[in-house]
Amino acid sequence: MRYGADRKEQSRREIVARAAERLRRDGIAAVGVRTLMSDAGMTHGAFYAHFGSRDDLVAQALERAIEATRDGLLGHLENVPAEHRFEAVVDAYLRPIHRDHVAKGCAAAALAPEIARLDDETRGRFWRGVGSLADVIEPLLPPGGSDDERRTRAHALFASLMGSLQLARAVPDAAESERMLAGGRDAALAIARSAWSST
């Protein structure tokens, strides 16, 4: 090796990290290879030394974005006493700063419909990421229910949070957007607290 052992790998990681933000900000279809590379401080020519295709980078960046989303949620739970963790995760997800910073926010909220149009393999990776988010929520639900029922409820709860955040972002009126976040919070609590159908 003539160059530092992991110099190229560091570049790759930088490209993926910046792309994870850019894709959330602008959407998957709206961003070109030149933009993605210049975000990482390079020119487009180096792209194919790192990735097989644009789609290859998109898949890696989506995975990275979801990981960052989960790490962010987990970060918000540190130092929160167990009995307040459920409300903490809901409030963290629906706080105004999350609504206003799409690029660093939940990848599913920023991109779910576009991801639904991608190939099976990329959707599979994304779905595992959604599962890891549901895994953050599941232990915070009230006790009861079968494993399946708890898992399904955690997914539905996440879907509800995601939908509320998306609509809060789409409203042009600030007061309506706040109401959307507050309503989303109430809805999340209602889902969590409803009776389990099985013991």
Residues forming the site for a copy of itself (CB under 8 A): 26-27, 29-30, 102, 108-117, 120-121, 123-124, 126-127, 130, 152-153, 155-164, 166-167, 169-173, 176, 179-180, 182-184, 186-187, 189-191, 193-194, 197
**Which contacts (CB < 8 Å, 24+ apart) does range 73-79 have?**
73/133, 73/136, 74/136, 77/136
State which residue, 104 or 169, has the beta carbon closest to a copy of itself: 169
State which residue, 38 or 160, has the beta carbon closest to DNA: 38
State which residue, 68 or 102, has the beta carbon closest to a copy of itself: 102
Q: Which does 96 bind (CB under 5 to 8 A by kind): DNA, a copy of itself, none?
A: none
Distance CA 30, CA 51 (A): 19
| Nearest approach, Cβ of residue 171 and a copy of itself (Å) | 5
Nearest to 29 by CA among 87, 100, 92, 111: 111
Which amino acid, 104? K
State which residue, 13 or 127, has the beta carbon closest to a copy of itself: 127
State which residue, 74 or 156, has the beta carbon closest to a copy of itself: 156
- Which positions lie near DNA, rule CB under 7 A? 1-4, 7-8, 11, 31-35, 37, 42-50, 53-55
Within 10 A of 63 (CB to CB), how many other CB atoms are there?
18
Q: Please, which residues have CB within 8 angstroms of residue 168's CB and are 6 or more apart in sequence?
A: 94, 99, 177, 178, 180, 181, 184
Q: Which does 117 bind (CB under 5 to 8 A by kind): a copy of itself, DNA, none?
A: a copy of itself
Nearest to 126 by CA among 140, 114, 138: 114
